[in-house]
Amino acid sequence: MSPIRLALVGLGKIARDQHLPAIAATEGIELVAIASRNAALDGLPHFTTLEALLASDVAFDAVALCTPPQGRREQAALALSAGKHVLLEKPPGATVSEIGPLIETAREHGLTLFATWHSRFAPAVEPARALLAKRHINTVTITWKEDVRVWHPGQDWIFAPGGLGVFDPAINALSILTRILPHPVFVTGAELAFPANRAAPIAATVEMADSNNIPIRADLDFLQTGPQSWDIRVETDAGAVVLSGGGARLTQDGVVLSDAPEAEYAGIYKHFTGLIEAGQSDVDLSPLALVADAFLLGRRVTVDAFDY
């Protein structure tokens, strides 16, 4: 079978750090073009917009959209209407409601739409899911704290409306949470800390529960210095189950059950090629819905202005 010819839209930090090496390492997919306003890649056709790429004579089958979420719906709709399969970086869009029409368009055209949650492909996530399916869960605590100046240097879009602020990284935790817990999760309350000069929160606490009323708390911070924290601790009838390192490591009462090298984006592209071959889509909006609900229920507090 011929490889899937992929065009990458948006060539920023996440595309260079994660997408390019994962594409190169994945059988059955080949990068054939770049569409980016600010960057190009030696040896590949380059266009400043997706519209220009679609109007060219470059043959391709699919696009990976790595642009900020605020404009992703328009790009996805354009690509699907042109008969291209679409991979969406996380979050899949700036709102929950804008994704529904994309799902319908993909279905009508017989195309694949894949809303990626890269943290679900971390090596310890599926072992954690299997372990927790056999345990009685008492409480869940999420600690997701990182330094925005390190991971998103100068990226003002992340604090613009639709950029999600601290929820841009924290949605990774929510994507893991909604994968490993056996029952649906919903938000019960939140406090969101907005810098005086920004339109998205820089820190937050979110209270949640599942359908069995298990209490879940998330402590989120975008100004963490020193060691970064990407941890989910689940207290169970058999002790503490801890996913650390963003889902890379799983322990139970301090005993290591899983600890493997990170390969999240390789997993994403393997899954994407499999979806295309099977004629299927994969669009789970539950992590984005939790973020939207945190904004709906959250009490807003104003904190010091933030500048890079």
pLDDT, tens digit, for every residue of 247-280?
999 999 999 998 988 889 999 999 999 999 999 9
Query: Is residue 278 a part of any domain in this protein?
Result: no
What is the average pLDDT across 128-139? 96
Of 98-102, 260-264, 304-308, least confident by mean pLDDT is: 260-264
Query: Is residue 266 a part of any domain in this protein?
Result: no
Compute φ and ψ for 275, nearest 5 degrees.
-65, -45
What is the average pLDDT across 181-188? 97
Residue 28, SS3 per DSSP = coil
Range of the domain at 250: 119-260+292-303
pLDDT in tens, 71-97: 999 999 999 999 999 999 999 999 999
pLDDT at residue 2, rounded to an integer: 86
What is the average pLDDT across 281-285? 98
Band of pLDDT at residue 147, cut at 50, 70 and 90 = very high
pTM over 0.85: yes
1 compared with 106, residue with greater pLDDT? 106
pLDDT at residue 67, rounded to an integer: 94
Q: Both 99 and 128 in a single domain?
A: no
Q: Both 95 and 143 in a single domain?
A: no
Q: Both 153 and 244 in a single domain?
A: yes
What is the average pLDDT across 186-212? 97
Residue 146, SS3 per DSSP = coil
Query: Is residue 200 a part of any domain in this protein?
Result: yes
Q: Which of 90, 134, 145, 270 is catalytic?
A: 90
Q: How many Å from the N-terminal Cα to the C-terminal Cα in the chain? A: 48
Structural contact between residues 35 and 58, judged by C-beta atoms closer than 8 angstroms: no
pLDDT more than 90, % of the chain:
95
How many other β-carbons are positioned within 10 Å of the β-carbon of residue 38? 8
251 compared with 13, residue with greater pLDDT? 251
Query: Is residue 132 a part of any domain in this protein?
Result: yes
Catalytic residue list contains 90: yes
What is the average pLDDT across 165-192? 97
Q: Both 296 and 214 in a single domain?
A: yes
Residue 74 has which token pair?
A: 């328009």
Band of pLDDT at residue 127, cut at 50, 70 and 90 = very high
pLDDT at residue 38, rounded to an integer: 87
pLDDT at residue 270, rounded to an integer: 97
Whether the pLDDT of residue 239 is over 80: the answer is: yes
Domain boundary among 115, 144, 161: 115
Q: Are strands 239-244 and 229-236 parallel, antiparallel or unpaired?
A: antiparallel
Q: Both 133 and 159 in a single domain?
A: yes
CB-based contacts of 2, cutoff 8 Å, min separation 6: none
263 compared with 184, residue with greater pLDDT? 184
Domain boundary among 77, 94, 115: 115
Q: Both 104 and 215 in a single domain?
A: no
Domain boundary among 92, 115, 138: 115
Whether the pLDDT of residue 1 is over 80: the answer is: no
Residue 214 has which token pair?
A: 């298990």
Query: Is residue 44 a part of any domain in this protein?
Result: yes
Query: Is residue 265 a part of any domain in this protein?
Result: no
Q: Both 126 and 105 in a single domain?
A: no
Mean pLDDT (the chain, rounded): 96
Handedness of CA 92, 96, 98, 103 (dihedral sign): positive
Q: What is the CATH number of the domain that holds 224?
A: 3.30.360.10
pLDDT at residue 262, rounded to an integer: 83
Q: Both 38 and 150 in a single domain?
A: no
What is the average pLDDT across 30-36? 97
Residue 190 has which token pair?
A: 């939140």
Say how many domains are in the chain: 2
Q: What is the CATH number of the domain that holds 50?
A: 3.40.50.720
Q: Both 143 and 87 in a single domain?
A: no
Whether the pLDDT of residue 107 is over 80: the answer is: yes
Q: Which long-range contacts (CB under 8 A, 24 or more apart) does 154-159 make?
A: 154/308, 155/13, 156/308, 157/68, 157/70, 158/68, 158/200, 159/195, 159/198, 159/199, 159/200, 159/202, 159/306
CB-based contacts of 223, cutoff 8 Å, min separation 6: 147, 148, 202, 203, 306
Whether the pLDDT of residue 228 is over 90: the answer is: yes
pLDDT at residue 263, rounded to an integer: 87
